[in-house]
Amino acid sequence: MTSEHPTVLPATRTAGAWRAGVADGVLVVVFILIGRSSHNEGFTLAGTLGSAWPFLAALTFGWVATRAWRRPAQIRFTGIGVWLSTVVVGLLLRVLAEQGVQLSFAIVTTIVLGVFLLGWRALAHAVLSRRRS
């Protein structure tokens, strides 16, 4: 943790980046599991992976595009970039994979992934800011 960059996760930069990447990935999978459950699709590994891969690939794209490992908890550039990449590229991959995208699904995806991917970053920022004062 440095005073220059309050949005850098504690511990080493590498460990913080790994934790942030895992957190993002877990939250994307949680989003998928909630969606599958709400549509009575149940849990199967193949079904979950089939639904999750477009968003996990998009999340990876977002991490690379924003170089998220540099400031993984930053909201403005990293968080918003990762979120929008995950939504837009994920939905595009679903269309290309012929998994279908309804307008309501796109709206829910945007909102839920926004809350998940930006929410933990906002919490991290609040905790780190509080520790500094």
Residue 1 lies in a domain: no
Residue range 96-120: mean pLDDT, rounded: 96
Task: Give the range of the structural domain holding residue 66, as residue numbers without chain letter.
Answer: 13-132
For the segment 47-101, what is each residue's pLDDT rounded down to a tens digit?
Answer: 999 999 999 999 999 999 999 999 999 999 999 999 999 999 999 999 999 998 9
Could you give the number of structural domains in the chain? 1
Residue 3 lies in a domain: no
Residue 128 lies in a domain: yes
- Structure confidence at residue 3 (pLDDT): 44
Contacts 24+ apart (CB under 8 A), 21-29: 21/63, 21/68, 21/69, 21/72, 23/120, 24/59, 24/63, 24/82, 24/86, 24/117, 25/56, 25/59, 27/113, 27/116, 27/117, 27/120, 28/52, 28/55, 28/56, 28/59, 28/86, 28/113, 28/116, 29/56
For the segment 4-55, what is each residue's pLDDT rounded down to a tens digit?
Answer: 455 554 446 788 899 999 999 999 999 999 999 888 877 889 999 999 999 9
Residue 5 lies in a domain: no
Q: Output 131 or 17, whichever has higher pLDDT.
A: 17
Residue 6 lies in a domain: no
Residue 4 lies in a domain: no
